[in-house]
Amino acid sequence: MDEANWTPRRIVEELNRYIVGQDAAKRAVAIALRHRWQRSRLSPDLQEEITPKNILMIGPTGVGKTEVARRLARLLHVPFIKIEATKFTEVGYVGRDVDAMIRDLVETAVRMVKEERTGSVEDRAARLAEDRIVDAMAPLTRESPPTQNPFEALFRGADSSGDQGTGYVDQEERRRIEETRARIREQLRNRSIEQDVIEVEVQDQPPTLPMMGGMPGQDDMQMNLGEMFQGFLPRRTKRRKMTVAEARKILTQEEAQKLIDADEVNSEAVWRAEQQGIVFIDEFDKIAGGEASHGPDVSREGVQRDILPIVEGSTVNTKYGPVRTDHILFIAAGAFHVSKPSDLIPELQGRFPIRVEFDALTEGDFYRILTEPRHSLIHQYRALLEADQVTLAFDDEAIRAMARYADQVNRDTENIGARRLHTILERVLEEVSFSAPELSGQTIPITKAYVDQRLAKVAESIDINRYIL
């Protein structure tokens, strides 16, 4: 769909299908994405002057911070990565440097572009793969004796017996082979020989060689030796036995890769990463705090200062070429229970001008999460058990009881937000899931009494632990 149709209101409405509440956050990200489309309609010189309005999300765990960003990227089909700030170290320490987030973003963009280009040539690649399968099952011979190329034999590893099916045959034999090939081609199109085993020649994957580099803070120096020499060595092939269905899949992928221009893919991927990419940095509060650390620990402020130039706008070298970060949208998120956003260094604070606070989830929110989203947990569990022909019938009071238990456990123990619902539903449906194969064809009612029976001991153990500890 054209990006012009994705108005802020339309984006929020689409997010509401998957995420309950958090209207302020949805509006903020929708406006930020709309600004990116508006910027693309301006003159090139003005586009360079307009930088993205990075967003800082503040709220407890499990309230939807990551899900808002992830769903947004899926809706608009733009490169998106999620990373944790705690995985990075300042320069000079062993660990990942901050440039790695941009390299990961470009890798994501390359996969997206490859999938799109593969889809556009899929029909042609399937026809070429079909031709190769026919050649493997009924080789078409030549009418004159072939000449042996010594260089071809050297690189392709031809055996002394010569290539199969390249010998001289008369016209009658050739006509018979053509009829056989036509029959095989018809069977391939009818999918009637998918499980037949054939021997085909496929590309041989080169062995993965050790990584170079490994110096602290030098992730860009680490490269795969196999990739480095891939362009210099001839592409090797080997003969493998597999079913027709497997051969169709593998050969279609090989033919699609041949039809795709790798340079165009890389160029398009770099452009998308620069102009449309979204980097979601989680656990941002863990690197907040300007006080000096003691001992050999990595300085949190040092990590902030390494992230700063990436967010401000710099150039990161990748194996696909240099990538500018000036117009990448950065979304940082953290609970900020102990530290505060003001504990970040001032320069970094200024690079996240939009602040969005997420509300803690209530019992009513849990009920809505279980019932309203398009792929709610209840819908997922119903679908899973339907694979065993078991039908779950949830009573409304039972759903409200599960929401109440989730809210109670979060208040009495660690508040993990909506993730608590996974624990609650697993406990409620544990017996049904275990016995599902024996319950095939039955409808299992999930009532409030059943929920209380399954979760009563959970509440009791919480009360006991509260007093013991």
Q: Over 45-72, what HEC string results?
A: HHHHHCCCCCEEEECCCCCCHHHHHHHH
Among 327, 265, 5, 235, residue whose Cα is nearest residue 119:
265
Give the CATH number of domain 363-457.
1.10.8.60
* Least confident among 92-101, 188-197, 388-397, 401-410: 92-101
- 153-157, 189-193, 301-305, 367-371: least confident range: 153-157
User: Where do the domains of the chain lie?
Assistant: 3-116+266-357, 122-259, 363-457
Domain 3-116+266-357 classification at class level: alpha beta
Of residues 414 and 213, more confidently modeled: 414
Vertex 178 angle, CA 175 and 184, to 5°:
145
Supply the DSSP symbol for 325. Answer: -
> 331, 324, 269, 274: which is closest to 116 by C-alpha?
269
Q: What is the pLDDT of residue 2?
A: 57
CB 394 within 8 A of CB 378: yes
Most confident of the following: 27-36, 195-204, 232-241, 293-302: 27-36
Burial class (CB in 10 A: 0-12, 13-18, 19+), 254: middle
For residue range 111-143, list pLDDT tens digits in order.
Answer: 999 888 888 888 888 888 888 888 888 887 654
Q: Check: CB of residue 339 under 8 Å from CB of residue 290.
A: no
CB contact set of 62 (below 8 Å; sequence gap of 6+): 361, 415, 416, 417, 418, 419, 420
101-110 burial code (b ≥16 CB/10 A, e <16)? bbbbbbbbbb
Q: Tell me the per-residue pLDDT of 318-352, one tens digit each, with 9 for 90 and over.
A: 889 899 999 999 998 888 877 888 888 888 888 89
Classify 316 as helix, strand or coil.
strand
Would you say residue 396 has pLDDT above 70?
A: yes
Question: Measuring CA to CA, which residue among 282, 402, 261 is closest to residue 334?
Answer: 282
Say whether pLDDT at 213 is over 50.
no
Residues 13-36: tens digit of each pLDDT: 888 888 888 888 888 888 888 888
Which of the residue ranges 295-304, 399-408, 432-441 would you say has the lowest mean pLDDT?
Answer: 295-304
Alpha helical stretches, state H, 260-362: 262-276, 300-312, 346-350
Average pLDDT over residues 211-217: 46
Residue holding tokens 């019932």? 371
Terminal alpha carbon distance of the chain: 56
Q: What is the CA radius of gyration of the chain?
A: 29
H-helix or E-strand containing 36?
helix 23-40
Distance set, CA 139 to CA 216, 236, 253 (Å): 55, 21, 22
pLDDT on residue 293: 46
pTM of the model: 0.75
